[in-house]
Structure 1
Amino acid sequence: MFGRRDKAQRPSGRHSDEALRLVKVSKSYGEGESAVRALDGVSLSLPRGTFTAVMGPSGSGKTTLLQCAAGLERPDSGIVMVAGEEMSKGSEAELTKFRRRRIGFVFQQYNLLPTLTVAQNTILPLKLAGRRIDKAKARSVLEQVGLGGRLKHRPDELSGGQRQRVAIARALVTEPAVVFADEPTGALDIRSARDVLRLLQEAVRVHGRTVVMVTHDPVAASYADSVVFLADGRLAGHMQRPTVDAVAERLAHLGDDINGHDYAAQGV
């Protein structure tokens, strides 16, 4: 649906098959006795062309993990690498440039500009990055997500599911190394949520993108290739080929055996 993978675009280097690598990433908020350690030395590696769900109870660190991995927050310590490039160094301007070049975002509340049309919202990341605007490509991506007939509509003329489709098209048009999705189905009805999850699946399986999705929903997680579980800011396990029942069961016992294993070597 999104076109075929281009094997020639595979990056070179020791970790050429990695889309995302975190090495002992830690992040705390506050100071002194009131400080909260949101991430505690998290290490993991996600291969290119995979769909990973990140799950855990409230306060487990899953949102902080996404923010640090996506360059929205700087970790206190540790290394974040996207497509073989270290992201956690440099100035704020350099970090912003890196995000615009390497990362796509899909948020729960869509984050579309209400005064722009569907087509204008989709090409906005290209404009912000100072890249050439390929309107034909943007139109093609919108057609692929089922919005070819809505190019001139504004967000308030769309349903919630359609708005999230625009957000997915916007995330994909820059051809990012990783797409981060933060509770992308949280504001949608069941049918629209299913459609959005299938689009994310196809972005991975057909187009070769890498998707990292934070979710609290076992049904949403079952669309992923694997699930990473967090508890108290630490990795608490992972699951390949998740099912709704297996994820729900694992969540019910999360924290029973929290460990500090380095999942990088396991290809989570």
Structure 2
Amino acid sequence: MTDAVRLESLYKTYDGGVTALDGVTAGFAAGTFTAVMGPSGSGKSTLLQCAAGLDRPTAGRVFLDGTELTATGDTAMTKFRRLRAGFIFQDYNLLPSLTVEQNVVLPLRLAGRRADRAGSRAVLEQLGLGDRMRDLPERLSGGQRQRVAVARALVTAPAVVFADEPTGALDLRSAGEVLTLLREVVHTHGRTVVMVTHDPVAAAYADSVLFLADGRLAGEMRAPTADAVAERLAHLGDRAMGAVA
């Protein structure tokens, strides 16, 4: 199985000497759903941003869909990212002045491609939003807005969908619906999903969980359950508190 995303000896140091990533090497296989977890400050969001080409590592290499992002210039990386990566964020990032359909096709327009209205409508129909295409985001519930964000992430047929706390602002029912959609994106449509989350219940929807602590890999769990993930996180949190003490 090939890796849709490959990280090799990734380091990220910020001004002031703070090390967010400390030599991380990891692969995310194509057609899999991986959750990335760890205590606060473990580097999980930084890992996602570097893997997605939203930020550059201080050192190391990032491969996305077989292309080395770290070997490309900023303009080329932006163009590649728009075509081969999809993004879902906690706060939806929908433009309030655009309709649901206009928000969904926005990545195509930004990439200089023709807006595939038939394709976008088909995606929205699959996500149960076929009758809301002309609505503005303010008319939707939180769960519906996040489903629009999922549709927008899928419209370019990306190799990888990166999700940063996608259910953090949702109630339990809406969160379950969005996580089920993400799992279907992987198992039905063959996409790859990499999701940062703090929620063990959300992580249990994934095929595997990658744990980080202090910017380093701290283990992996396959076929996770919410209880097992929570126990591992508690252990990592205790270890981090012990290091501070």
Shared fold (TM-score greater than 0.5)? yes
2: CA distance between counterparts of 1:257 and 1:177?
35
Per-residue deviation, 1:90: 2.3
Other-structure match for 1:120: 102
The amino acid of 2:83's aligned partner reads: R
Q: Distance in 2 between matches of 1:152 and 1:242?
A: 39
Aligned residues: 240
**TM-score, normalised by the number of residues in structure 2:** 0.96
Partner of residue 231 from structure 1, selected from 201, 207, 213: 213
The reply on whether 1:129 has 2:111 as its aligned counterpart is yes
Return the alpha-carbon distance in structure 2 between the equivalents of residues 150 and 256 of structure 1.
Answer: 46
- RMSD across aligned C-alpha pairs, in angstroms? 1.3
Task: Determine the structure 2 residue equivalent to 1:28.
Answer: 13
For structure 2, the 5+ residue unaligned runs are: 241-245
CA deviations on 1:99-154 (whole Å, 9 max, x unpaired) are 10110000000000000000000000000001122111100000111100000000
Structure 2: distance between partners of 1:256 and 1:114: 42
Q: For the Cα contact (< 8 Å) 2:39–2:237, is it kept in 1?
A: no
Could you say which residue in structure 2 is the equivalent of 1:71?
53
Residue 89 of structure 1: CA displacement? 2.1
Task: Report SS of the residue matched to 2:41.
Answer: coil
Query: Pick from 74, 82, 85: which aligns with 1:92?
Result: 74
Partner amino acid, structure 2, of 1:20: V
- Name the counterpart of 1:183: 165
After TM superposition, the score normalised by the length of structure 1 is 0.88
Q: Equivalences for 1:197-236 in 2 at 5 Å? A: 197-236=179-218
User: Identity of counterpart residues, as a percentage?
Assistant: 68
Cα displacement string for residues 162-182 of structure 1 (whole angstroms, at most 9, x for unaligned residues): 000000000001011110000
Alpha-carbon distance change, 256 to 57 in structure 1, aligned in 2, over 3 angstroms: closer
Look up the match of 1:39: 21
- Aligned counterpart, 2:243: none
Matched, 1:18 2:8: no
Distance in 2 between the 1:90 and 1:223 partners?
34
Shift, 1:257, TM fit: 8.1
- Give, in whole Å, the separation in 2 of the partners of 1:121 and 1:208: 24
Structure 1 residue runs without a partner (length 5+): 1-15, 259-268
